[in-house]
Chain A
Amino acid sequence: MKVFIERKKQTINMQFTGTVNDLLKKINQNPEAVLVAVNNELVANDCKLKNSDSVKILAVVSGG
């Protein structure tokens, strides 16, 4: 699975199946502070992810 973390401008490739919540726990992101998009659509926290998904973790806080 390709996971892009917006805040760090970093893409990680990982093997993963599970829900959005599981993923956020695994990569240490607070669900309150991020939005998760799969193939460019937002998804709910219990959404099941497939290894072939392209996932974006978008930061909620903006500065300035």
Chain B
Amino acid sequence: MITRLATILVLSGLLGAGLFGGAATAQEHSALLPVVPKATGEAHPEGNAFMRINHMKLLRHDRDDTMRNGNRDIDYSLKECVACHVQTGADALPIPINSEGQFCSACHEFAAVKIDCFQCHNTRPELNETQALLSRPLPDAAALSAYLDEVTE
């Protein structure tokens, strides 16, 4: 348990430093840390640091609420995590969210965590959600170059 906790603390500390403009440069960042793919949609009001440490508890709590009580109006739904956090490949189709380097495995590989959720839960959004992703407006030139600047910074 102590080592696990240490992992989380180290991981969130390092990630925090990386994300919020610590001393690490882009190169050091990618060498030391898992690269977490960017999400679409609105960020969590709780903040990334909170989500990094607590997402498993939130998921477990809301899972039981849906399963046992039939509550469909939950805040931490696994299918919604997938919908926002899935990446699209060069073919514009969603990449399974648990494949190497993808959102639900980048950190887990780093921290040696194994989850079984995707034996049952789909690793990609449903087709209609995929279509919603595909029909997202393309970024305009200014946004695109700003994004590229940010990535190459």
Partners in one complex: no
Q: Which residues of B contact A (CB under 8 A)?
A: none
